[in-house]
Amino acid sequence: MTATIIDGKAVAERLRAGLAGRVAALPFRPGLRVVRVGDDPASGVYVRNKDRAALAAGFDSATIALPADTRESDLLALIARLNADPAVDGILVQLPLPPQIRADAVIEAVDPEKDVDGFHPVNAGRLASRQPGLVPCTPKGVMHLLREAGARLPGARAVVLGRSQIVGRPMLQLLLAADCTVTVAHSRTRDLPGECRRAEILVAAVGQSELVRGDWVAEGAIVIDVGINRGPDGKLRGDVAFAEALPRAAAITPVPGGVGPMTIACLLENTLEAAIARRRLPS
Ligand code: NDP
């Protein structure tokens, strides 16, 4: 068997086109503000891509760039202004932040109704208690890809590698809500290859280049590789050894071109959802 390659770029393009159509039908342009502190080059590329995608889909999008020595109190004051601005539907503060700024304080300062990253504890709590809220973009994108790949989720054995706030934990909640039987593995898990081999759906989000070897993948599994790791040769690699997994999996995402494009598309989806909910429009 050779796996179907799940084309995240194409799925994301279709999602963005659908969002652009919905935005065009609104009597206003949903407003997104991305706040960037410092000049981390990787974040720079990512923020520019977000802006470009948002503008192309008809959003009112702008990036606010602050110097690396910005004080936490100044960033919190900016967030308070954006929270109060009726034209702003979504606020995203690009992580990581410089060491003088506490990320938790910043995440908690964003109005949960405008928290398009879905990182605020109120939104994490809503997700965990199955209430409507804003869901983190990357795991949300993974769910889109699983549906595209034709995954039969109810009852499926799903294994999530990684337990971070931004990927692993919300991924657990989304798969559980879709009636999967979910195992979350992490750096203290005893038998990582054994856990992976039981997975019908395997989501890898560890940030370790090609940690998941081909013989960790069960025949016919659907493999979603969230990892983005830049090797010494400058090439991007996932958390899964793609070439080894290809003959065993039923479907697999490539890196790049898999989950990455979905994250930005889901950010736009969240911004539209936030605008509709906040402005009390019918969805
Ligand atoms: P974190 O570093 O926050 O979390 C990594 C998780 O993996 C932790 O739970 C850690 O375990 C676990 N882990 C690390 N090493 C091992 C190991 N050797 N064996 C088992 N578990 C391990 O990373 P993120 O969740 O933020 O990101 C994960 C990856 O996804 C990164 O490559 C990141 O670049 C990528 N990413 C991609 C996005 C996209 O748009 N495609 C968006 C966000 C992230 P423990 O908790 O025990 O320390």
Q: Which domains are present in the chain?
A: 28-114 (3.40.50.10860), 136-260 (3.40.50.720)
Digit-coded pLDDT (tens) for 57-114: 999 999 999 999 999 999 999 999 999 999 999 999 999 999 999 999 999 999 999 9
pLDDT > 80? residue 188 = yes
Query: Does the annotation flag 129 for ligand binding?
Result: no
The reply to whether ligand 1 has any atom less than 6 angstroms from the CB of 204 is: no
Q: What percent of the chain has pLDDT over 90?
A: 95
Is 94 tagged catalytic? yes
Give the mean pLDDT of 186-206: 98
Res 199: pLDDT: 98
Give the mean pLDDT of 158-179: 98
pLDDT band per the 50, 70, 90 thresholds, residue 42 = confident
pLDDT band per the 50, 70, 90 thresholds, residue 281 = confident
**Taking a C-beta distance cutoff of 8 angstroms, is the pair 199, 227 a contact?**
no
The reply to whether ligand 1 has any atom less than 6 angstroms from the CB of 174 is: no
Give the mean pLDDT of 35-53: 90
Q: In sequence order, what are the beta bridge partners of 237?
A: 229
Is 115 tagged catalytic? no
Going by C-alpha positions, the residue among 95, 85, 17, 46 that lies closest to residue 268 is: 17
Is 111 tagged catalytic? no
Query: Does the annotation flag 162 for ligand binding?
Result: yes
Amino acid identity, residue 24? A
Task: State in Å: Cα 205 to ligand 1 middle.
Answer: 5
The reply to whether ligand 1 has any atom less than 6 angstroms from the CB of 166 is: yes
Q: Which of 115, 117, 225, 239 is catalytic?
A: 117
Name the residue of 95, 159, 164 whose CB sits within 8 Å of the most ligand 1 atoms, as the mutation to test its pocket. 164
Res 44: pLDDT: 83
Query: Does the annotation flag 164 for ligand binding?
Result: yes
Neighbours of 68 (CB within 10 A): 13
Determine if the pTM surpasses 0.95: yes
Going by C-alpha positions, the residue among 112, 128, 131 that lies closest to residue 172 is: 128
